[in-house]
Structures are given as structure tokens and as C-alpha cells.
A and B are shown apart, each in its own frame.
Chain A
Amino acid sequence: MSAADRPLLSVEDLTIEIAGASVVDGVSFAVQPGEVMALVGESGCGKSLTSYALLGLLPDVAERTAGSVRLADTDLAALPPRRLRKARGKDISIIFQEPSASLDPLATVGAQIAEALRQHEAVSRREALARARDMLEAVGIPDPDRRLHQYPFELSGGMCQRIMIAIALICGPRVLVADEPTTALDVTIQAQILDLMKRLVAERGTSIVLITHDMGVVADIADHVAVMYAGRIAEIAPVDDLFARPAHPYTALLLASVPRLDVAPKATLATIEGLVPSPGDFGEGCRFTDRCPLASERCRAEQPPLFEERPGHRTACWHRDRVGEIARAAA
């Protein structure tokens, strides 16, 4: 493989256990420079844990038991804590779902942005604040000179998320991980934050790993999509191909349950029957079996590998040739 098409970020076989149950199981994906990779799935599918694991920020109860997180030539998962700290915020950054809670309530916005910069670069306090100010401008915050000296409680959630983005990007990382960055925000603010992220990708060539449960957000911003179900990747594909021709029953049902404007008003919204199994109840086979209209004996007994359905489009389903039936039934 030549250097040109080697991915910037490559996650291989990532496995995370909580109390002996594998809540993330053999997850692999790769992100190219300047590309947006979306990890999609229901609550509890392991997408947020996956995002924390990229920076080695798993909560105490969770443990990464296997897998690598390769950023360029470095396996972040194998780094000793000191080296990993040097990479966090500098090579790879993360923003979270609750922007207001992610800022220290007792420190000014400027101090927190400057702190991120001074952690990685030997700059004076004054220069750090000057660059923090420029960063505030870059993330579209009006009146940055005043905002610099304000406290998080004086700012709205959308403002706080812009500040989190400023903190995340001030050292110029190559990868930005965004864990449901717009979930806690109003719809109009959501759109602004997504636009900002799109602009940053374009201007700086930053790759984004976007965690979301919102198919609308995926369609808006992602280049590639990995659909996760119960800790495993069900399907991974370029975004257009995934929306046009889903090759996993879960993806097809997920897409069918997105509200649409072109169907009759008051029509019942399609839902997926049943619940995600809890980590203790995972069987041997495909974890979607109990909710899948195509399920067979084989699904129950044997976990399907990721089949390459089309170039770049892989799906973990034994009955991938029949997924079109679900899509047609939903339409």
C-alpha cells in the first residue's frame, strides 16, 4: 500500500469490555485525511465508548481488551500514558455531547482555550490568549475580546460547543472526534455547528469521527458511515451508497424509520420492533437476530463476518441479498 492511500486513522479490532461483557466487539474502520466518518447507532450500541477509546479516555469501569488505534504511524492504544497525553489535544481532539458541562464553570473561556495551547506549545500567557481570541473568531463567536473573559455560565449551549471546538482545534489536530456534538442543542444551532464543522474540514483538512444517532446529520456531513449495533459494526459504506442501497437489515429498518416529508401526513412512523439486547444476553450469532425479519437458524448460531458487497461497502449479514425486500417494503 502506498503512503498516499494509507488512512490517517485506522482502528483495528477494537474490543471493550465492561464487567466481562464485550460492549464493543472487534470494531474496525479507517478514516482518510479530510474525511468525515460517522459512527451511527442506537443508544447503548457502543459508539460513544468507541469514541472515548480513540483517545484512551474510557471510564474506569470499561477496559480495552484488544485492538489498535493507529494515527498515521503511531498506535495510540499502545502508547504509555505520558506519550498518550502528548497526543491528546495535539494530534487528536474530542468534543462532547454536553458542551456546557464540558467546561470548568470557575475558569474563563479564554483561560481554558489558552490552557489547551500551553499544554502543547511553549507560548507565553499573553500570546496564548491572543491565539485563543483568533480561535474564537475562527469558530464564529462574535465579539471575541469580550467572550474571552466570560465564564461558561454566561454563554449558551451553542456558544459553549463552539468554544469546545476552539479548544479542540487550537493545536491543529489531524483528527477531531465529535461525540454527539449537536444532540443537546436546538435544531437551528445544530445546523450552525454542523456547518462550522464542515467548514473546518474543508479549510484545515481535519478528519472527523462523528458519533451520532441522527441519520439527518449523517446525510448532511459524512463521507463514510459505519452503522453499529450492540457493539459490532453491522455495515460500513460510503454515505451515498449506504442511503441508496443499504445491505444490512438493521440499516434498512433504521432508514425506514426516519420521518419523511414526502409520505402522507399522520402516517404511522416505522419503528424497529424489540430492544437492543443487553451485553449479558449476547448470543453466539448475529446480535440483531431477535429483531430481524430475515433471521434464520444460521443467524442465531453463527456471527456473520463483514462481507464486501461492493467496493468499500461491507455488511455483516448472511442474507444480504434479501435486504432489498425490506427497503422496498418500507418505501
Chain B
Amino acid sequence: MLGYALWRLLQAAISVFGVITIVFVVMHFSGDPTLLLVPQGASAEQIETLRHQLGFDQPVWVQYLAYLGGLLQGDFGQSVVQRAPAFGIVLSRLPYTIELAIGALIVAIGVGLPVGMLMATYRGTALERALAAVVLTGQSVPTFLSGILLIMVFAVQLHWLPTSGVGDVRFLVMPSIALGALSMSTFARMTRIAMVDELGKDYVRAALARGLSMRAVVLRHVLRNSAIPVITIAALEIGNLLAGAVIVETVFAWPGIGQLAIQSIQSRDFLVVQVIVLLISFIYVATSVAADFAYAAIDPRIRLAR
């Protein structure tokens, strides 16, 4: 088990290193960044001076090592727009995105899991068909549209909720629904498939033969066995939520890293963009490691396998 954990962490470290390298290469070959940083109409001499300051006149491998060295010391470079450390800028926005992601996960898991379980347990009934319609809606309406529709109905027409911005928990409701709807559908479908699959297995009939009620069989045996595919989806969905946050944060004027990403791309503040890309990649890797540890906790076949 310890060997498994160490091996998985080593793999994760290699993934993170790979991401860092790819980001560096893409940035480096996408053109001379100095030109993006100088004001229009700058003289060749000014450009050359800045290029030297930033170290872009050095050979590629020297730049790469300097970049890695900087990252190891927590130096992610300066935002040229805000004249402040890029990492600090991203970090100051992160709590908002985490808040939004948690809200969306509550919608996605809190609604998606029970809906999927009900669909599996009551398959072939009117209830399943009604829930399938909900799932299909959540999955087919794009985030920018559902966000605007929510604002129109609940803020503009009914005045129940604020249109946008941050504040108390009421501000969080609509962005969480808009962001979580797609994941909710994914959770519902995966939970349903996983449970239907498990319900058809021999151990379910054997547990019923012991005198257990269907409810007890589902709660004690089927749910745990259905968990592994659902955990896989959960790990992927957390990454998708962060990607979806870019749109939702723009629609709802939510000051998280999604909005920051759009602003930074528009103002060519590429070191901030780089930090966001690295951060999201890191979260992806971390959630997939967490999922692997969760498999091991649930399934003795993984935990005890050599």
C-alpha cells in the first residue's frame, strides 16, 4: 500500500513537471514575449533593454533552467499589467473560484447522485423518464445560456436573487447552478449506469436470498460497488468545473480565476495566464491522485494487490 502511494505520487510529480515544461515550450515558441510587453512605438533600443532585463536574450536552455529555478523558489514572475507578482494576483482570486467550485459541486453531487440512484432503482418507470428529462436538460443547455436565463427569471423577473457580483450566499446560488448543471447530469448518468450494472450482478441476488430488503442491499452493497466509476468521474469533473468557471464567472461578474484568465488574456498579461494554467493543471493531477487513493480505500482488490 505504501509502495502504491509513493509510486502514484512520483507519477503525479512527473505529470506536473511535464506540464511545466510544455507551458514553457509553448510560451517560448509562440513568439518573442518582449514585443507583447513594450508599449506601441517603442524604439529598438528600449526593446533590446527590456529583452535583456527579462533574460530573453539568453539561450533557451539557460532560460528554461532559470524558469525552473524560479518556480522552485515560488517565483512565478511579475504581472506586467499590475506590476505585482503574478502568483499573488492569482492567489488573491483563488478563494472566489474555490467557493464557486464548492457551490457547483454541491449542486452536481447533491442532485446528481440521488437522481442517478433513483433512476437506477426505479428504472422503466415514469419517475425515471421524468428524471431523464431533467438530466437531458442539464446536459444540453450551454452554461452561458443557462446563466443568462437564470438571471432573467430569478433576478430580473422575480427579484429573488441578485443578478451578479459577490456578497452573501444568495450571490452564490445562480452561478453554482449554472456551473454545476452539466456536472450534475454527468454524475446522474454515471451513477445510474454504475448502479444498474451492479444491480444485475449475482451478489445482489445472493444478498436478497439472505433475507435482506432491496433497500438494505443497495445501501450496504450496491452503492459501495458503484462508487469506483463515480469517483473517476468526480475527479474529472472538478477539472471541468474549473474550465467551466471561465464562462460562468464572466456571465455573473464573479471575481475568480476564470474571470482573471479572460482579463489577462485580453491584456496579454501572459505570466498571469501561465500561473493559472499551471494551477489548473496541478489541481487536475492532485484530484486524480486523490481518486486513486480513494479507489484503494474502497476496493481491497486494489489495496491488497501487490
**Total count of chain A residues near the partner, CB < 8 A:** 30
A89 touches B211 (CB 8 A): yes
A164 CB–B CB distance under 8 Å: yes
A103 touches B203 (CB 8 A): yes
**Total count of chain B residues near the partner, CB < 8 A:** 21
Please encode chain A, from 156 to 168, with 1 for each CB lying within 8 Å of some chain B CB and 0 for all others. 0000000010011
A88 touches B211 (CB 8 A): yes
A167 touches B210 (CB 8 A): yes
Residue ID in chain A nearest B206 by CB atoms: A102
A21 CB–B CB distance under 8 Å: no
Taking CB atoms, residues of chain B closer than 8 Å to A229 are none
> Interface residues, chain B, CB within 8 Å of chain A?
201-203, 205-213, 220-221, 224-225, 298-301, 304
B300 touches A153 (CB 8 A): yes
Nearest CB on B from A214, distance (A): 20
- Bound Cα distance A86, B208 (Å): 11
Taking CB atoms, residues of chain B closer than 8 Å to A101 are 201-203
Which among B203, B209, B301 is the interface contact of A151 at CB below 8 angstroms? B301
- Bound Cα distance A142, B220 (Å): 28
Chain-B contact segment, one of A91-99, A126-134, A217-225: A91-99
Taking CB atoms, residues of chain A closer than 8 Å to B300 are 105-106, 151, 153
Taking CB atoms, residues of chain B closer than 8 Å to A96 are 202, 205-206
Residue ID in chain B nearest A167 by CB atoms: B210
Question: How many A-B contacts are there with CB distance less than 8 Å?
Answer: 70
Q: Is the interface of B mostly helix, strand, loop or mixed?
A: helix
- Bound Cα distance A169, B182 (Å): 49
A154 CB–B CB distance under 8 Å: yes
A226 CB–B CB distance under 8 Å: no
- Bound Cα distance A127, B18 (Å): 55
A116 CB–B CB distance under 8 Å: yes
- In addition to A106-B298, A116-B210, 15 A-B residue pairs with Cβ atoms within 8 Å of each other are A57-B205, A85-B213, A88-B209, A89-B210, A93-B210, A94-B209, A101-B202, A101-B203, A102-B203, A102-B205, A105-B299, A106-B300, A115-B212, A153-B300, A154-B304
The 9 A-B pairs of least Cβ separation, nearest first, read: A89-B211, A101-B202, A102-B206, A89-B210, A88-B211, A116-B210, A151-B300, A119-B211, A102-B202
